[in-house]
Structure 1
């Protein structure tokens, strides 16, 4: 486990800025402590700095398949996977909420149709990165807006409004490949 290189940090922050904009600062300097990013086997972990220091003492005794804590794998280089739970405190600028019937479809890797769209942030532009939420405000994943907010109001129910990028179900679907 090591800190990200300057190039890796730049790549990760460029991709994240599509989804959360200037709020990237809130990921590192949070009111509940200082957090850091660490790379291990193409996975970027997001964790408290204190937890990282504690865990480094025990790292050599831990099997390779373990991770630090829960929900800490933030992204994976090379696969495009990102986990949205860590973004909730950083207030993404553009959000999409899907209806309960469309949640499972999105979590299986499909795009969001107009019929499954619950709400969308005002002034979302076409091809803007968005964070996809359930109607209960649970982050489900990431996408790219296929239509702007104004276009979403006029399209037919079977039109794609959000292109699927990554979701929290991706880890389970790819679990065999990771071990």
Structure 2
């Protein structure tokens, strides 16, 4: 486990800002227990500082620690994993609620169509990161809007509203590569 470099911090925070905006400060400056981001084998983990200090004694044999937020590709880009959904849902600026008929298609990896749209946060811009929730406020995944809120109102029912990025179905589909 090592701290992130300045370039890695910039890349990580730019990606997180697409989904939670300025709420990134709530992840770092927590009142209960300070947390930090650490890199281990190209994966970024969000972990409390107290646990991180204790884990340094077993570092060579450590498989993972904390919550995996995503991983860096070989080209230096950052890809969020579904494992960080709990934190994205908690601090998200923009949210999309899906009707019960649209939950399963989304969890199988499909985009969200207008016919499946239950609600959307007002004034959501185009190409903005959003958290996908069921109508009962259960986080299902996250994606990127294809159209703004105003444009989505004028679309036909088969038009794509949100491009799929990650969903809770990945826990089963990609269980080998998540950790």
Above 0.5 in TM-score? yes
Q: What is the rounded CA distance, in whole Å, between the counterparts of 2:114 and 2:89 in structure 1?
A: 24
Partners in 1 of 2:171 and 2:38 — Cα distance? 19
RMSD: 2.0
**TM norm structure 2:** 0.86
Q: Which residue of 2 aligns with 1:95?
A: 95
Q: Is the 1:81–1:167 contact (alpha carbons within 8 Å) kept by the matching residues of 2? A: no
Alpha-carbon distance, 1:163 to partner: 0.7
1:3 aligns to what?
A: 3
Specify the SS of the correspondent of 1:57: helix
- Is the partner of 2:79 in helix, strand or coil? coil
2:129 is aligned with 1:129: yes
- Consecutive unaligned residues in structure 2, runs of 5 or more: none
Q: Is the 8 A contact 1:74 1:86 kept in 2?
A: no
Contact 1:96/1:131 (CA < 8 Å) preserved in 2? yes
Partner residue of 1:77 out of 49, 72, 75: 72
Answer yes or no: is 1:86 the counterpart of 2:83.
no
The match for 1:35 is 35
- TM-score normalised per structure 1: 0.86
Q: Tell me what 1:119 maps to.
A: 119
Q: What is the aligned residue count?
A: 173
Q: Deviations over 1:88-117 (max 9, x none)?
A: 34x211111112232222222211111111
Residues 107-159 of structure 1 show CA distances to partners (whole Å, capped at 9, x for unaligned) of 22211111111110000111122121222222222211111112222222111
CA distance in 2, matches of 1:130, 1:40: 27
